[in-house]
Structure 1
């Protein structure tokens, strides 16, 4: 199958949507499918041959973060030309309501379209206000995928349409086989924990984690050594560390994928103190696959990823005292961490790309078959029902993750 994938966010910047598109494209290409990807990026030669830039990105505040998007007449012309000349069997558009390449690709589409919704924004005034403008183009979408139940509820609330729930995928084997790095390994009297995320983005919760560490006994060994990995202004973030913790917090900056896997495989726990705006929790799955016990805020998306498996523990959102108590509980109990690690590795298998990509391909095949047998504007609810029947026949589980 010849597939065109569109990502609205800059491919130069690490992010969950970008990684999802990249990994899905590589997985399908390895299976023999012809996959091309379009997204904003700086026009250099560092991207693979199957990637095309549709314009240089611009930083725009979006969904509680800063997204790097591209738009305008030049971008629109590039997107339209890429879609028209691609000779695709199907177009897979990610975040189709994001004002960037995705919206432009949807406007240009004259072929079967699958759309994946990654965002959870139930109270988005912008999406509500834009709904009348978006509705005509939304009708071009033949099947909708949501990466979580929270993202599905966003689609239902704002677009009055249903979506088939398929989670993000993870290369479980890559994280599961990562070797421990002596730099990050904890020991009695010096436990280690990790935080991954944009350090200058408040909703990632680094400030909550630092406040929780400050509530521990800083005079003894109760405070773990914290490794902070992710993009952002390290100097500014370091200034926010309480004086009593300066020798317990180490900023690594942006790390490579192998180093990230080694970090997660080595620490005594992974901490996800996010305060909101999360529709999934892919880094939780990466941590579980690497064997790291997870301590996470009780966001709906995180609770869904962890499930009732014993792979992680949660604390109330934005409550440092609750996080501090969980740190004492997990870091002080070797047997508990061992049980959490085993449960996490097992849970991570549910999100392996082999299973996730097979479910997405089932959507593709159902859409293409449906379009060949019926008009392009076939009811999406019928598509969802057919996808669920196909997934059941393939033994890929139901529609919900």
Structure 2
């Protein structure tokens, strides 16, 4: 099968959608399919052979975050050339209402089209304003996928129609087999916890964790907090109590291998995100690596953690509850082990071997549906079936 995949967000900066597109493409290629990905990227960015750059992206605020998007007539020409050269059996667009190359590809493309919606955004003036303009193009989509029930609600509320829920995928074995690193392994007197995310983005929740740490450190003074992700530690920690700043070790951006080892090494992975999450791929990665997960009780996180059976949860944006739950976990190694084992078992449901087969089933359905629609009877019999009177 010849498959074209469009990623609206730049491959220069790591993110959940980019990882999803990358991993899906590589899994499909491994199964023998021909896959081409179109994504924004700077000219100096090293890209896999299967990725075509749509040009440099511009940083814009979108859905409580900063996204790097690409739009305009020059980009549209690149999209058209990619579509013409690809002659795809199916085109798979990600975030087709985001003002980027996914919209441009949707407007230009014909044939079987599948769209995946990643965003959880229950109210959006941007989407409501743009919908009348892009509605004719949205009607070309034959198969709609949402990565979670929250993303599906966004589709039904803002876009119309429905979508099948297929979650994000993870290469579970890559995380399960990750080597632990002695520098990141805790001890009973000095346990380790980890936070991964863009430090300067409030919705990732680092300020909530920082607000909880004074209480945690009073109970467990030897705690080490490993913080991984882009951002300036000096800016982020301005105003923090000295003991909180001293407990944190800032690792900067980490490679995929280092991320897996970090998750496999710590006593607890903390996800204090405050909102805007439609799924929570990092939770699955942590669960796969064997970490005990502690997450805010966002609905998307609750679904991933099976209501708290595969990981602990605390009340969103409540540092006191975060501190209480974290201290309890750090004092109870048997409880951590129980949750970690349940998390590893549940993570198998999200392995790419399962998720990609579900996506391929959507591809096959829309291709067959398009073929059936293209086969039309001719002449008077055709007019009869269409209700014509001539």
CA distance in 2, matches of 1:49, 1:216: 47
Aligned counterparts, 1:152-167, within 5 A: 152-167=152-167
**Aligned-residue offset at 1:221:** 2.8
**Equivalence for 2:299:** 300
What is the CA-CA distance between 1:73 and the residue it aligns to?
1.0
In 1, Cα distance between equivalents of 2:129 and 2:38 = 27
* TM-score normalised over the length of structure 1: 0.91
Residue matched to 2:384: none
Instruction: Give the Cα separation in 1 of the matches to 2:245 and 2:280.
Output: 29
Structure exhibiting the larger radius of gyration computed from Cα positions: 2
Task: Give the TM-score taking structure 2 as reference length.
Answer: 0.94
2:287 maps to: 288
Aligned pairs, how many?
A: 375
- Counterpart of 1:365 in structure 2 is 364
CA contact (8 A) 1:216 1:223 kept: no
Q: Distance in 1 between matches of 2:276 and 2:234?
A: 26
Q: How far is 1:313 from its partner? A: 1.2
CA distance in 2 between partners of 1:125 and 1:375 (Å): 37
8 Å Cα contact 2:76-2:104 kept in structure 1: yes
Larger mean Cα displacement after TM superposition, 134-143 or 123-132: 123-132
- Aligned partners of 2:319, 2:196: CA distance in 1, in Å? 18
Mapping 1:232-271, distance limit 5 Å: 232-271=231-270
User: In 2, Cα distance between the equivalents of 1:339 and 1:222?
Assistant: 25
Alpha-carbon offset, residue 222 of structure 1: 4.5
Partner of 1:216: 216
Give 1:341's aligned residue.
340
State the SS of the aligned residue for 1:232. coil
Partner residue of 1:328? 327
Deviation at 1:224, TM superposition (A): 2.1
What residue number does 2:20 align with?
A: 20
Residue 98 of structure 2 is matched in structure 1 by 98
For 1:104, what is the secondary structure of its paired residue? helix
Alpha-carbon deviation of 1:310?
2.1
CA distance in 2, matches of 1:172, 1:217: 33
| Equivalent residue number for residue 55 of structure 2 | 55
Q: Which residue of 2 aligns with 1:66?
A: 66
SS across alignment from 1:244: helix
RMSD: 1.3
Query: Which residue in the other structure is 2:349 paired with?
Result: 350
Give 3-state SS (helix, strand or coil) of 1:8's partner: coil
* Matched position secondary structure for 2:123: coil
For residue 130 of structure 2, what is the aligned residue in structure 1? Answer: 130
SS of structure 1 residue aligned to 2:52: strand
Shift in Å, 1:240: 4.5
Deviation at 1:238, TM superposition (A): 3.5
* Separation in 2, partners of 1:152, 1:43: 35
Partner of 1:389: none
Deviations 1:193-237 (A, max 9, x none): 00000001010000000100122343x635621101011223312
- The answer for unaligned runs of 5 or more in structure 1 is 377-401
- Residue pairs, 1:376-387, within 5 angstroms: none
Aligned equivalents of 2:45, 2:192: Cα separation in 1: 38
Q: Distance in 1 between matches of 2:229 and 2:45?
A: 24
**Counterpart-to-counterpart distance in 1, 2:261 and 2:55:** 34
Q: Please tell me whether the aligned partners of residues 222 and 328 of structure 1 are also in contact (alpha carbons under 8 angstroms).
A: no
Deviation, structure 1 residue 45: 5.8
Measured in 1, the distance between the counterparts of 2:271 and 2:92 equals 30
In the alignment, the residues of structure 2 paired with residue 324 and residue 213 of structure 1 have an alpha-carbon distance, to the nearest angstrom, of 7
Aligned-partner Cα distance in 2 for 1:214–1:114? 48
Deviations along 1:319-339, one digit per CA (max 9) or x if unpaired, are: 100100111111110110110
Q: Is the 8 A contact 1:194 1:226 kept in 2?
A: yes
* CA–CA distance in structure 1, aligned partners of residues 337 and 325 of structure 2: 16
